[in-house]
Structure 1
């Protein structure tokens, strides 16, 4: 096979070489992807849009070995199967299957990273229904890059434990000071002491240095009963501890998280800050910068989140790193095994990265130009940063991974995020604004069918995002693109109640201020009609809070939408508060939802008499975000009122319905349900 090479001039006198096939001989990663496609070949025909768009991402996770010579990636197959592959970055190398997981109660691979060039650590995740409660457990495991010597690095659960703690911990530092070891959090549960003098007494979350080869561990931070997270400085030193109070008498967590720091030279923990997780007030530490002895984090300035650095010397001195006058600055960009801080990012109409590291800024800008202006994100790097894995995607490109070698100015394609869509021409996404009923201009994103420049005469869909503490961003969206390919105009509104635009836009969140939030959503539908969309074929489709907004729009504007699709929706706010009692989040949910008439008035299940459009709902039975009881309550209420409703339940699936077969089935059912 001849390898095509493109040359892109990106700097004066400099070029990047872009090879269109990564491996010239043997089994290529791209060829292997075709065998991992999560939809049976008989379904993956050119005209089967549901199968193409319903298929999960082909690649879940990609990482680069410390020497930059090996690649690890997790491929997603049929049902919930996930497989870990290792491949050398040399020409002709063949990927080797190392691990395979089947999902559900048997567990799934979440991510993998390199401990050394010969050893990896991975997180596994399992979920099951135990006596009516959906419970989840994680573990950190380690395995040789050649396969074998599989070990569980998390603390093992004991039959003598006084209670269940399914937290498997997390890796907080990959910069091994001991060869083959990791700095990771591990949970400890005290044991029954009857009949033994060897019962464990430690309780809570601590930090251990764990040898990934033999599984031995030594204590770094003693277990703390209230600890929920720790941060290291990227050089093996634990500097930040987060604690959250728990009132045992009522079995509920405190909505305020408190942060402590340990001085650079050691010593006892000292108070740093606190953060209300409902209001986002206070300083949220995110990344320690060892060089300046500061922790970078997020704090409101003028009602919007900004990136702030706080000194770790007890003075509480803060320095504003970056703030934006219109939107929240919501991400800190880090690179390398030490988690070096190189920039920040935020989203206006499109996401923008502001690099504080000149070399990284120059590199990412050059790569973006070489790839046609697509945004570029650094995924991983070798220990000496001589090689990088980067990802590029756009509204019309679901994304691809590349290996970049700066010294050679070489950029090689590695993996496609969604191999199933490689030959599909996707629709551009346009940032728009539309007027709400009170004149406020609401931002959103409009996606039209391929080749269309307006919505005139088209069936249309309003698609509110979930959250509500979230926002939509410009880029690839598999659900919006599916509807556009099916002939619909799709509008995704960032209604008031969305996060990302500061306190004034957030209001009191989308539940307490549901009339404003859902009012903006219904006004999105009215705008589509004014733009020429067919009012007889106007529908609304939403997931999670978006599903709630879809149902509640049928209460607020009964004649606007001709069909309602709600995926994993909240339907009854009082019931949501009751459900929170079972998982210890009642104080948090209670503060978030609030009290008053809006609890009943803002619950679709309590107001079904107003709904006139037919309703189609989907829900996974192992949903921990929104209990399936919410959809079942709505179904009973609608049926009791004589309304047309259907609920499709997917056994053993969680909130995001992560199974290609389920998503494909859902898209087909939605296509048959919507007016078109």
Structure 2
């Protein structure tokens, strides 16, 4: 199939960093050169988002096939304006989401706006929602999100947004308040309502051709708090009536829709079978027939593979593999996999006719290469690198392993050893993931690769409480069953020592978010196992976390997630600071909406009060993810020096 395979030089790849000037922390900490990419409908142009200084964003456009260099067309300064992504709405027009994180009346808020512009940065327009200050009963912080890029006319999209409720006194024109769907003309920025305002609607799903087929409504109790239950409804073709589909809660026992196939007149979704997520289809013809599509006996089905402007679902996957629904596309992707051995192949975007595909190929030792694949000509042309500064840097292989926990359970994880090392007697890091409702995956990880570059062995445990392995592995969650989760983390360290991989005097822990919590709590329960601990944006006190959510719609969900009882105090490292015997280094952004910076400050205060060694580094104006190359480089540099023991 790829008999005419051709690979050109990367049009945007910069020269590799010279060995004598290589600053590992700066290079690994830098943001990706391509943070989001979109292919024009005719497949002739590429728009992508790249980093500027600090948190700044730069939008580039490049004409494909003529050797032209990428042209920067718009910049934001990152203070606070940033760009999360841009997509083509026609062959000449882009729609971008610009956002910022700042303080509003004492709270940290996320505000976004939609901006449209031509490929040469002309005709810039901002979506202007009606905001009548003295009539508004609520505050709108965003313009919503695009739910359909292909509603029938070039340059038009469907957007879902929240319409602010207004005071009705003295007027019949006041807005009702609630979620609406509008057709947006990105040339004029004029809108037309497609779905009228409705309270508590959290989701609309279209068929990719401009027709709204599925609606999700959140259940809210009498106090206005989310209950965690979503009720789904659907429409038959050419009907405006909403029919009951399913009621979805944390148990996952009923059908949870993800997308619609208009040709088959079905919705694709997930529901649990024997304690694991499986893929199903749901007939939208009024019968409500559910049909099992794909289940993995070892892993949860993670989600659906999509492609093209209409986000057509082409397959479904789990950690164990992918099942494609289109035999021709499956054959083509397998051929690409054969041409790019050792890489994971992802279709990022496509032309409208699906003849040109934007491909990202990545692996554990390659951060990623973007290709344009012309199906008709069977040509595969390399466009650019995700991280060109790492092109000539030796990266470490990530190996899937299992280790035995204290209770005999085999715990999966990923082990990365420094390139060229013997794999024995090394300084070693146990690096638990965040969430905890998440899991680590095989592939490039800038944190892991930095530490491996610095000579550390790194073990990432998918401890019990991680997602992807079914209900029995998840337990209640990593907070209520913290003893099990943290036990798996400490057992990861014991495994490294037992196997001779780690020098027991140079075994340390590093974590981000829940991973930072896990690293700190590991030092509580096993005070002498890890010799030093680094925690980035850590949760440190569960009871304080619950109190921090008072006044927000998810307050009762947070209370339910954490639970009540002695585990709340026993499982909070800030409340157990006196038990920690090793030096602690923490980092936190002061605009973190996920985990309040007060969590790290409180931990630091409690450690100091207990006469423990603690250092807290605060980054002004940064959020949970520290998406600033300079700040990340500083964090890596400080962490590497702190964790290196003689």
| TM-score between the two structures when normalised by the length of structure 1 | 0.92
1:93 aligns with 2:75: no
1:206 aligns with 2:180: yes
Q: 2:243 — aligned with what?
A: 270
Q: 2:386 — aligned with what?
A: 417
Within the candidate set 487, 498, 502, 2:470 is matched to 502
2-structure distance, mates of 1:283, 1:155: 35
**Deviation for aligned residue 1:159:** 1.9
Residue 537 of structure 1 aligns to a residue in which SS? Answer: strand
Q: 1:221 — aligned with what?
A: 195
Residue 399 of structure 2 aligns to a residue in which SS? Answer: strand
Q: 1:319 — aligned with what?
A: 291
1:305 aligns with 2:273: no
Q: 1:29 — aligned with what?
A: 12
Residue 588 of structure 1 aligns to a residue in which SS? Answer: helix
Q: 1:3 — aligned with what?
A: none
After TM superposition, list the pairs within 5 Å mapping 1:482-631 onto structure 2: 482-532=450-500, 533-631=502-600
1:618-652 deviation per Cα after TM superposition (whole angstroms, max 9, x unaligned): 11111111111111111111111111111111111
**Deviation for aligned residue 1:134:** 0.4
After TM superposition, list the pairs within 5 Å mapping 1:146-545 onto structure 2: 146-153=120-127, 155-160=129-134, 161-193=136-168, 197=171, 199-247=173-221, 250-276=223-249, 278-348=250-320, 352-454=321-423, 456-532=424-500, 533-545=502-514
Within the candidate set 19, 35, 42, 1:60 is matched to 35
Q: 2:641 — aligned with what?
A: 672
Q: 2:7 — aligned with what?
A: 18
Residue 510 of structure 1 aligns to a residue in which SS? Answer: coil
- 8 A contact 1:104–1:653 mirrored in 2: no
2-structure distance, mates of 1:504, 1:385: 41
Residue 590 of structure 1 aligns to a residue in which SS? Answer: helix
Q: Which moved more, 1:127-136 or 1:561-570?
A: 127-136
**Deviation for aligned residue 1:47:** 3.6
1-structure distance, mates of 2:115, 2:491: 49
Q: Which moved more, 1:289-298 or 1:44-53?
A: 44-53
Q: 1:142 — aligned with what?
A: 116
**Deviation for aligned residue 1:453:** 4.7
**Structure 2, unpaired ranges of 5+:** none
Q: Which moved more, 1:58-67 or 1:360-369?
A: 360-369
Q: 1:129 — aligned with what?
A: 103
2-structure distance, mates of 1:646, 1:657: 18
- 8 A contact 1:272–1:314 mirrored in 2: no
**Deviation for aligned residue 1:411:** 1.0
Would the alpha carbon gap of residues 157 and 630 (structure 1) be closer, same or farther in structure 2, given more than 3 Å must change?
farther
1:405-457 deviation per Cα after TM superposition (whole angstroms, max 9, x unaligned): 11222111111111221111101101010000001000000000111252x11
2-structure distance, mates of 1:61, 1:606: 41
2-structure distance, mates of 1:374, 1:365: 11
**Deviation for aligned residue 1:313:** 3.2
Would the alpha carbon gap of residues 104 and 300 (structure 1) be closer, same or farther in structure 2, given more than 3 Å must change?
farther
**Deviation for aligned residue 1:392:** 0.3
1-structure distance, mates of 2:305, 2:359: 13
Q: 1:83 — aligned with what?
A: 58
1-structure distance, mates of 2:79, 2:643: 31
Residue 361 of structure 1 aligns to a residue in which SS? Answer: helix
**Deviation for aligned residue 1:251:** 4.2
- 8 A contact 2:166–2:177 mirrored in 1: no
2-structure distance, mates of 1:156, 1:370: 52
1:492-521 deviation per Cα after TM superposition (whole angstroms, max 9, x unaligned): 000011000000000111001100000000
- 8 A contact 2:151–2:208 mirrored in 1: no
Residue 35 of structure 2 aligns to a residue in which SS? Answer: strand
**Deviation for aligned residue 1:315:** 3.0
1:189-218 deviation per Cα after TM superposition (whole angstroms, max 9, x unaligned): 123456x64753231111011111111111
Q: 1:642 — aligned with what?
A: 611
Residue 505 of structure 2 aligns to a residue in which SS? Answer: helix
1:20-61 deviation per Cα after TM superposition (whole angstroms, max 9, x unaligned): 24xxxxxx4335xx7xx9xxx9x9964411011011111111
Q: Which moved more, 1:87-96 or 1:416-425?
A: 87-96
2-structure distance, mates of 1:95, 1:491: 39
1-structure distance, mates of 2:252, 2:113: 29
Residue 342 of structure 1 aligns to a residue in which SS? Answer: strand
2-structure distance, mates of 1:652, 1:391: 32
Q: 1:4 — aligned with what?
A: none
- 8 A contact 1:470–1:499 mirrored in 2: yes
Residue 30 of structure 1 aligns to a residue in which SS? Answer: coil
2-structure distance, mates of 1:211, 1:465: 42
Would the alpha carbon gap of residues 515 and 81 (structure 1) be closer, same or farther in structure 2, given more than 3 Å must change?
same
**Deviation for aligned residue 1:583:** 2.3
1:110-132 deviation per Cα after TM superposition (whole angstroms, max 9, x unaligned): 11111110111111111101232
| TM-score between the two structures when normalised by the length of structure 2 | 0.96
Would the alpha carbon gap of residues 115 and 510 (structure 1) be closer, same or farther in structure 2, given more than 3 Å must change?
same
2-structure distance, mates of 1:60, 1:273: 36
Residue 407 of structure 1 aligns to a residue in which SS? Answer: coil
2-structure distance, mates of 1:190, 1:340: 34
- 8 A contact 2:9–2:383 mirrored in 1: no
1-structure distance, mates of 2:643, 2:379: 47
1:199-243 deviation per Cα after TM superposition (whole angstroms, max 9, x unaligned): 532311110111111111111100112111211001110011111
1:111 aligns with 2:85: yes
Would the alpha carbon gap of residues 281 and 469 (structure 1) be closer, same or farther in structure 2, given more than 3 Å must change?
farther
- 8 A contact 2:61–2:70 mirrored in 1: yes
**Structure 1, unpaired ranges of 5+:** 1-9, 22-27
1-structure distance, mates of 2:292, 2:113: 37
